[in-house]
Structure 1
Amino acid sequence: MKNIVELFMRMHVEEEAMAPNQFTFGSILKGCTISRNLKLGGVVHGSCIKFGIDLDPFIATTLVDMYAKLGRIEYSLKIFSQAPIKDVVNWTAMIAGLIHHGQEDMAKNLFLDMLRCGVEPVSVTFVSLAKIFNEPRMLNEAKQVHGLIFKHCMELDALLGSALIAMYGKCGSTDDAFRLSTRLQSKDVISHTALLVAYAQNGFDHDAMIMFHGMIDENMKIDSFAIAAVLGACSGLKASKAGKELHAYAIRKGFISDISVRNSLITMYAKCAEVQKASTMFDMMHVQDVISWTAMLACYVQNGYGEEALIHFRCMIRMGLKPDMFSITGALRACATIATHGSGGQIHTWAIKTGLQMNISVENALVTMYAKCGCIHDSYGLFECMPHKDIVTWNAIIAGFSQHGFGKEALALFRHMKYQGFQPDDFTFLAVIVACSHAGLVNDGIRYFKSMHETYELEPKMEHYACMVDLFGRAGRLNDAKKFIDSMPIEPELPVWEALLAACKIHGDIRLGKLAAVKILRLRPEQPSTYALLSNIYASLGEWDKKAEVLTMMKDQGVKKEPSRSWIEIRGIVHGFAIEDKSHPQTPQVYSKLEELKIKMEEMGYVADTNFVLHDIEQEQKEYSLLHHSEKLAVAFGLISTAKGSPLRIMKNLRVCGDCHTAMKLISKIEDRVIVLRDTNRFHHFVHGVCSCQDYW
């Protein structure tokens, strides 16, 4: 730009000085746009006014384009409105500028004004317009735009054809994208890449992989967009080997420096559960944008590293990056995973400050977060205040009430959702059947399951079948559960047999329990919970030799049982406890509080139920072990660390045992506290000696 300005000045001072014309100023303005020099652009604009050429159609178009690309769309609109003559180039530049700034509705209205003024659109106009239609709900409008192109007898060149293919891909119509690609007379790498991206965006991952290999076989010049798209397909397929091959290909071809390729590699490794490789890729990046940070955040959340995800999110903020909708929702999912209500509230505050709370995806994530952190009333309050709701919103609140054991309330919400005109989907029915299971509403569960196919033409998935087995199993109808499995139209998979084994543990059915365990171990011999449940069934019936055999099998397979752990968050810090844990700095006070509680519980008639100690040890040892279960330690710590009357929220990684369940009811009455306990299956709300599950869990 310095050289350009010097040349411009020489035009005035040399002997044969020449007056600049519109093409002179047009070139300088384009240079200002490319170099993103808004200040100089304003000076040149002033010179255009001085020379009386600012309203020239060519200059007006260049100014509209410059101000739009440099972030001053209001200047573009003012210049456009003042132009006395507007040709198709002016209109197209203004439409493109509005789309660039996310003003899609204004751009559509401007396009309609253009048609009403009798200005014929050109190919580039439609290339810009196609970018507006990027959601499945906009498919009909997208097709109308395609129809206008035919109406104007416009030739589908490679550029316009690629834009339309991309449009159909974003609208979720891969069939239309493919049909259009077959009609293009001129095909190039851009049109092929557009179809490849459409496949990857809509879950046609195998087709995307085939398309990519075809492009290589035809010696097409692959670009970074194609690499990023096919890495997305590898993510969908969880094809780690193919992803690593693409990683090597990107290095060989020099694409590894492209930030979109690196971000796609982080996502691919995340989906393939290779967290360390994703982290290494992130650390190696010289430039990390918000997308990079969000991809790494999602990696931690997807793979169960909730605490690491929150640390990563806080570091992102300290780096001065402004979180977007995706990073906020990712952080909220992390809070939901580890039930950190305090951190979730802080992120909620951050979302309000940044204006992101009104985004429906963020609001949905907040509804889920509060529900999973044990604050179902906060979750419902937020749900009620939402000005706009979608099916995800309804699914989140129905699932929340289901997990908290409020089955009838969940079903009432389901009926209200249908009354509001929302069509239930797979996730809705999953939440509804879970609600029936936790509330013991077996007949209602059967009816809703049947209605999936008969009324809504939805094919049940493995998760739905597993929930039905759980529904029968919790109610003690184990034979009905087995008959249901035998009648399944698809081969039962791991979740189905796990649900049956868990029910056999509750009701002490060794015969069916062994059958379920055998099926699970054939499918996944390294599954530790299977050995644990089967050994617990034997232990609960006093068959210690059989339990020892199962533990030996477990040892031979190199499988380790997951130890019982409980967590409680106090003033933003998460404290963890194991059975008979003495590692906490306040262990003496915690153990003292438990002894105090034991005396008060015994005065109320409590007798330790040693049937839940699944070890062949002396009675006194059993009682000691029971008193120091991880959830009891967490509750005792919460009682000595918080103000009287404040609620306690505890998370446990395994199912709560019957003795602890009884103790929690008594403690809630003794201490006059609300205790919310989240285990692997559901939430328990203990209030004044009563649990929300009504002792059915």
Structure 2
Amino acid sequence: MSSPGVNLYTMMIGGYADEGRLEDALKLFYEMPVKDLISWNSMLKGCLKCGDLTMACNMFDKMSERNVVSWTTIINGLLEFGRVEVAECLFRVMPTKDVTAWNSMVHGFFSNGRVEDAIELFEKMPNRNVISWTSVIGGLDHNGRSFEALVVFHKMLASFKATSSTLACALTACANICTPFIGVQIHGLIVKTGYCFNEYISASLISFYANCKLIDNASSIFNDNVSRNVVVWTALLTGYGLNCRHTDALQVFKGMMRMSVLPNQSSLTSALNSCCGLEAVDRGREVHAVAHKLGLESDIFVSNSLVVMYTKCGHINDGIAVFTRMSRKNVVSWNSIIVGCAQHGFGRWALTLFAQMIRTRVDPDEITLAGLLSACGHSGMLTKGRCFFKHFGKNFGIEMTNEHYSSMVDLLGRYGQLEEAEALIHIMPGKANYMVWLALLSSSINHSNVHVAERAAKCVLDLQPNCSAAYTLLSNLYASTGKWTEVSKIRKKMKDEGILKQPGSSWITIKGIKHNFISGDQSHPLSRKIYQKLEWLGGKLKELGYVPDPKFSFHDVETEQKEEMLSYHSERLAIGFGLISTVEGSTIIVMKNLRICGDCHNAVKLTSKVVGREIVVRDPSRFHHFHNGTCSCGDYW
């Protein structure tokens, strides 16, 4: 074009900015023979869109003429970059303020956590529109004041008609504080105002009902919605996950793909969380493949979910591989891999990763400390653990919680430092919760210290009278020391008070099907083959010098019967099933709801040597990787 006009120049500048090509936009802007206020405002907006606040501020300073759009644009930019004080100063000296400028400032205060300032400014507004009210409703909810948000919503209805955005904000507030009664009323208002087929309103309704544990209502909303976009599908997928209906969640993900609705980052993250909930690594790999094909594998939220999925499903090496490939990492990324390494007994890896985290200038948080203490506890690094516990708060300004004290008590207890652990509880700044005392009780059991165990059990039961774990642990300690009268007393008390002992169970997932086992179980269709395999294994183990340890059988029966009961603990049945159901050389992964006993730990170590396969057993606190007669925990768990 020989002589493009100012409008065409402005359009091209906006186009370059939309594509992130700031240099091209600036070059064209400076070439313009004539610049009007609209072109200046377009260039100002372009600088902010491309993330260059300094250039935007320089552009604003150079403007010979400014209108309300210019002022509002730069104020919005400053607020988005967290420069609240500068934005506030500009707002004060702004010659003319329209309702959009006031709304921007209110929204900016809320976005930067200055809730009281936002409310005060809203009260001062000379004129308000529905956007003003919606900003306050959404801002209050976003800052954890959801009930106040609903009060404001009620006030707004007296003078304004709610828009789809307002209704969505109100539903989110209902979901966050789980108020189904108010949410159902808002649903009625949505039907009256004709927004019931709006896709974003449908997504908000699905999320509301799912958060309130009314997942069938959420499913009905989804089924009634004729036009479904990725937001609606993702809302139902996430809702099923929140209600622990992970199989249904993955069916939704499949349906989504079948209908050619491409998942976004949120869809993939929710699907991976459900794979994690089902401990279904094969399904997780399928979702991973979809993420890779869509180019979303590198998204930080998807990558973080992949790390968690692989580590929680027992595949720590795959988790580390995903983490290593990440081009951008945030504190969640580092925490996920540090906690994962801790759970798998790779304590030194966790410490090495923490050192890298500090070098990359990512500030650790309370989860990082919990992961490091767990890593030290599972790897026998008492000195390192003490150092982290003593200096972490001072160096990084992190306040110690009950979880941190529980981890430190557990670490000291594993080393047999029971007196120091008990003393630490007594000098805690706040009152210890029952989990801290339970950690001491568990450690006392491991070291057969009856006196400390009895004191810890009393404190647990004072805080949590129906804690079955405390009764069970104490009963097991008495049983292991032959105090059967005390065992009978505890069991009678549990029966009288209706306290049920959590039954020990193990499970293994093969080809997407979960197989559950309890000790001595003979209900599985392949029980005969499983028992035959275990009998064969028993002979091979004895050839290697294995002798069952009857102290881990907590029943007052003859030694021979104790040995037989130990041979058919739930994890051994699950391993036996894995051996007859999977190909030679493949890894067997077994999950367990209770801590693996010492006798089974010794037996599985030797089993891994006999069958020449890696066997992974996860108990409530960690993974054990058994390979060629050794365990990753180094017999320290």
TM over 0.5: yes
Letter in 2 for 1:105: C
Q: How does 1:260-271 map to 2 (within 5 A)?
A: 260-268=200-208, 270-271=210-211
Q: Aligned pair in 2 of structure 1 residues 150, 686: CA closer, same or farther (>3 Å)? A: same
Query: Structure 1: how far apart are the matches of 2:215 and 2:206?
Result: 9
Aligned-partner SS, 1:139: coil
- Mapped contact 2:183–2:208 kept (Cα < 8 A): no
Q: Which residue of 2 aligns with 1:104?
A: 49
Q: Which residue of 1 aligns with 2:372?
A: 432
**1:193 and 2:134 correspond:** yes
Query: Structure 1: how far apart are the matches of 2:208 and 2:460?
Result: 29
- Mapped contact 2:437–2:459 kept (Cα < 8 A): yes
Q: Which residue of 2 aligns with 1:485?
A: 425
Please report how far the alpha carbon of residue 561 of structure 1 lies from its aligned counterpart in structure 2 after TM superposition: 3.7
Letter in 1 for 2:102: G
Please report how far the alpha carbon of residue 132 of structure 1 lies from its aligned counterpart in structure 2 after TM superposition: 6.9
Query: Structure 2: how far apart are the matches of 1:274 and 1:486?
Result: 44
Please report how far the alpha carbon of residue 351 of structure 1 lies from its aligned counterpart in structure 2 after TM superposition: 0.6
Aligned-partner SS, 2:538: helix
Please report how far the alpha carbon of residue 606 of structure 1 lies from its aligned counterpart in structure 2 after TM superposition: 0.9
Q: Which residue of 2 aligns with 1:139?
A: 82
**1:695 and 2:635 correspond:** yes
* TM-score with structure 1 setting the length: 0.78
* 1:404-455 C-alpha deviation (Å, 9 max, x unpaired): 1122221222122212222211111111111122123233223212223322
Q: How does 1:59-208 map to 2 (within 5 A)?
A: 87-88=36-37, 104-105=49-50, 118=63, 120=65, 122-124=67-69, 138-140=81-83, 153-174=94-115, 177-178=118-119, 180-181=121-122, 183-205=124-146, 207-208=148-149
Aligned-partner SS, 2:591: strand
Aligned-partner SS, 1:634: helix
**1:403 and 2:343 correspond:** yes
Query: Structure 2: how far apart are the matches of 1:554 and 1:319?
Result: 53
- Mapped contact 1:247–1:265 kept (Cα < 8 A): no
Letter in 1 for 2:96: E
Q: Aligned pair in 2 of structure 1 residues 550, 188: CA closer, same or farther (>3 Å)? A: farther
Aligned-partner SS, 1:455: helix
Query: Structure 1: how far apart are the matches of 2:182 and 2:120?
Result: 30
Q: Aligned pair in 2 of structure 1 residues 107, 696: CA closer, same or farther (>3 Å)? A: closer
Please report how far the alpha carbon of residue 384 of structure 1 lies from its aligned counterpart in structure 2 after TM superposition: 2.1
Please report how far the alpha carbon of residue 89 of structure 1 lies from its aligned counterpart in structure 2 after TM superposition: 5.1
**1:662 and 2:605 correspond:** no
- Pairing partner for 2:535 from 595, 600, 603: 595
Q: Aligned pair in 2 of structure 1 residues 583, 187: CA closer, same or farther (>3 Å)? A: same
- Pairing partner for 2:592 from 640, 652, 656: 652
My pick for the range that moved more, 204-213 or 453-462, is 204-213
Q: Which residue of 2 aligns with 1:377?
A: 317
Aligned-partner SS, 1:575: strand
Aligned-partner SS, 2:288: helix
Aligned-partner SS, 1:663: helix
* 1:592-611 C-alpha deviation (Å, 9 max, x unpaired): 21111111001111112232
**1:540 and 2:480 correspond:** yes
Letter in 2 for 1:248: Q
Give the unaligned 5+ runs of structure 2: none
Give the unaligned 5+ runs of structure 1: 1-48
- Pairing partner for 1:335 from 258, 266, 275: 275
Q: How many residues align?
A: 626
Aligned-partner SS, 1:576: strand
Q: How does 1:332-481 map to 2 (within 5 A)?
A: 332-481=272-421
Q: Which residue of 2 aligns with 1:6?
A: none
* 1:129-184 C-alpha deviation (Å, 9 max, x unpaired): 7777897xx313x6656666566x35333322223332443455546544543553
Letter in 2 for 1:599: G
Please report how far the alpha carbon of residue 655 of structure 1 lies from its aligned counterpart in structure 2 after TM superposition: 1.4
Letter in 2 for 1:604: L
Q: Which residue of 2 aligns with 1:251?
A: 188
- Mapped contact 1:157–1:185 kept (Cα < 8 A): no
Q: How does 1:44-59 map to 2 (within 5 A)?
A: none
Q: Aligned pair in 2 of structure 1 residues 315, 539: CA closer, same or farther (>3 Å)? A: farther
Query: Structure 2: how far apart are the matches of 1:523 and 1:291?
Result: 44
Q: Which residue of 2 aligns with 1:17?
A: none
* TM-score with structure 2 setting the length: 0.84
Aligned-partner SS, 2:141: helix
- Mapped contact 1:174–1:202 kept (Cα < 8 A): yes
Q: Which residue of 1 aligns with 2:613?
A: 673
Aligned-partner SS, 2:388: helix
Q: Aligned pair in 2 of structure 1 residues 244, 513: CA closer, same or farther (>3 Å)? A: farther
- Pairing partner for 2:230 from 280, 290, 295: 290
Q: Which residue of 1 aligns with 2:442?
A: 502
- Mapped contact 1:162–1:194 kept (Cα < 8 A): yes
- Mapped contact 2:478–2:484 kept (Cα < 8 A): yes
* 1:345-364 C-alpha deviation (Å, 9 max, x unpaired): 22111111011011111112
Q: Aligned pair in 2 of structure 1 residues 414, 603: CA closer, same or farther (>3 Å)? A: same
